[in-house]
Structure 1
C-alpha cells in the first residue's frame, strides 16, 4: 500500500487550464476535460481542481465546468474557487465533488464552522497561500487582492484546524511553477503543528522531489502542478504522472 498521496493540482482560469508561475505568469495548457481523461488513463487516485479566477471575479463556483469534470472523472475530486455559500457547497457535492477547498471565503464569519457542521470535517479543506522568500519570515498571501498580509501561516493553519477542517492545503507563492524545490523545513514545521492532515504544494522539481518531501516530512500528501503538466526547459505542455510501480517502490 502507498502510504502517502501524490496529487495533481489543476488550475483553471475562465474555464481554461493554465499553469502559473509565482501566481502571475500563465502558460495555457488546453482543455481541462482532456487532461482529466489522460489522468483517468494513468489511474491517478485523486485530483485537486482550483479555479483561480472565480474569487477574484466574484463569479462563484464554475458549475458548468464541474458538471463536465464529474461526468468524465474516475477519481475523487477536490474543488476550490469562488465558493462562498453552503448552497454552493451542496450543489458541488450533489454533482459529485468529494471535497471543497476553501481559501478566501474562510474569513467569512461562521462559514467554515457551518460547512463542517452540515457536511463533516472530511469534506472541507482549508487552503493557505504562503509568501516566503528564502529564510525570510513567512506570511499569508491574499490572492484575491494580490497582496502579502501580516498574518502568520501557522496561526491560520491552527485556526482552520480549530474551526473543524479535515485537511489543510498550503501553496507557496514564491515557488509556484518555478520547479526550485520545496521549502521542506518549513513544511515540516507546519505539519508538526497540526493534528489534521497537511497537503503541501509549490516547488516540486521532479518526481523524486515529491517522494522526498513525502518521506522526510509528516505531510499527508504532496501536490504539484507543473511537474505533471510541463516538460523540459521550454515548458512544453505534456500530461504526466509517475507509474504505480514507481510510487509503490518509493512510498510503500
Structure 2
C-alpha cells in the first residue's frame, strides 16, 4: 500500500477554515467548501475535517455541515469533533464520512470498544495529542489545556487494545510551526503498535512529509504544508503529486 498524504482542515465555531500554532493563534484560511473543491481537483488521497471547538463548547457534531462537506468530497473524508457516543457516529457515517476521529473521548476505552463493535475498527481513528515534557512526552487533552501523566506509547497501546483502526499522532509543540515532525515521537509510537499511525503537527514542506514516513508513520497529515507557502505564510492550496513524492524518495535513497 502506498503512503497517504492527508490534508487536515480545522473548522472553528463559525465553520470557518482556520490554522493554528500550538493549538492557538488561529488564522483564517478560507471557506472550507472552496478548499475542498480545490483539493478535489488535485486528487488528494483523503481529507480530515476537525471541528476544533465542538467538544470545548459542549456541542454535538453539526450533521448539516458534515453532510454538505461530505457531499463535496470526491475523496474519502474523516471527521472529528464533539463525538461522545455511537448515536453521534451513526448519522455521520450515513452521511458519507468514511471514519470518525475521536479526541478527548478516546481516553475512555469503553467508547472506542463500543464504536469498533458497532461500526468496525476501520471506521474509528483515535487522535493522540502530545506535549514534550523533559526527555519524554505526555498525552494532553482539551486542546492541550489538560496535561495527563500518561505517555503516548502507553496510550496508543490502550487504544489499539480497545479496537481502534488507526492512530492520529499529533505534536502540539510543533503544530503550525512548519519546522518538521517530532520524528522520535513518531518512531516510538509506530514501533509500539501494529495500527497505522498518521503523523500530524509540524510539517511545512514535502521533505518534512517524507521524514514522517521514514520515521515509521503509515501516513502523514498536515494543515500548514498544504495551505501555506513561504516565510510569510501566504495562503496557497497545494498538494504534491505522486510523481513528486516518488521522485524525492528515489533521490534520497540514491544518496
Gap regions ≥5 residues in structure 1: none
Note the C-alpha offset of 1:109. 5.8
Gap regions ≥5 residues in structure 2: 251-255
Distance 1:127 1:109 in 2: 13
What TM-score do the two structures reach when normalised by structure 1? 0.94
Distance 1:75 1:248 in 2: 21
> Which residue in the other structure is 1:177 paired with?
176
Offset from partner CA, 1:213-251 (integer Å, 9 cap, x none): 21x222110111111111212211111111232124345
Distance 1:170 1:54 in 2: 20
> Which residue in the other structure is 2:198 paired with?
199
Give the conservation status (yes or no) of the 8 Å contact 1:55–1:144: no
> Which residue in the other structure is 1:43 paired with?
43
Distance 2:21 2:187 in 1: 23
Alignment of 1:232-243 (within 5 A): 232-243=230-241
Offset from partner CA, 1:49-71 (integer Å, 9 cap, x none): 11100000011112122111111
> Which residue in the other structure is 2:229 paired with?
231
> Which residue in the other structure is 1:166 paired with?
165
Distance 2:54 2:243 in 1: 37
Give the conservation status (yes or no) of the 8 Å contact 1:4–1:251: no
Which 4+ runs in 1 deviate beyond 4 A? none
> Which residue in the other structure is 2:11 paired with?
12
**Larger RCO (CA under 8 A, 6+ residues apart):** 1
Further displaced range: 110-119 or 140-149: 140-149
Distance 2:144 2:170 in 1: 16
Note the C-alpha offset of 1:144. 4.6
Distance 1:248 1:145 in 2: 35
Please say if 1:60 is aligned against 2:43: no
Distance 2:229 2:245 in 1: 20
- Tell me the SS of whatever aligns to 1:25: strand
Distance 1:205 1:229 in 2: 9
Give the conservation status (yes or no) of the 8 Å contact 1:19–1:26: yes
Note the C-alpha offset of 1:188. 0.6
CA RMSD of superposed structures (Å): 1.6
> Which residue in the other structure is 1:28 paired with?
28
Equivalent residue pairs, number = 249
